[in-house]
Amino acid sequence: MPIYSVGILRQFTAMHFLVGGDWGRENQWHSHHYRVEATFEGDSLDRHGYLIDIAAIVPQLDALVERYRDKTLNELPEMAGRNPGLETFATILADRLADSLADGLADNLTALTIKLWESEDAFATCRRSMLTPLER
């Protein structure tokens, strides 16, 4: 059985500082040029031969990126009491993007993966299983 994947890439800059440990310069306010890769997976295509309509998902991803663009992550409610490191941020992005997918748009999806880069050589991923229409 084939497994399909479709991905979209976006870039943005945001600031943060790490808390709860001694991470040297990372404990100071600083910025990262983030690159977020959203990958959608599924084992069936829709009646048009698409896993997901990229044109329909772009507005959700763009809105998500705009939520964080040029912001200090530590100041956002979803980061309250959390260390805004890569894993936490990737999880928040995955959960918010999955929640924004409209019924009908995501019916073929079995998983969503967010791969979040904070530099040319450092990234974290969060893979989230998607509910089928019957499970919603």
Q: How many residues appear in the chain? A: 136
All structural domains of the chain: 4-98+105-129 (3.30.479.10)
Q: Is the pLDDT of residue 136 over 60?
A: no
- Tell me 3's DSSP state: -
Closest CA to 118 of 78, 77, 73: 73
Could you tell me if 63 and 97 are in contact, meaning their C-beta atoms sit under 8 angstroms apart?
A: no
* DSSP state string for 46-98: -TTS-SS-HHHHHHHHHHHHHHHTT-BGGGSGGGTTS---HHHHHHHHHHHHH
| Predicted confidence (pLDDT) per residue in 53-111, tens digit | 999 899 999 999 999 999 999 999 999 999 999 999 999 999 999 998 866 677 889 99
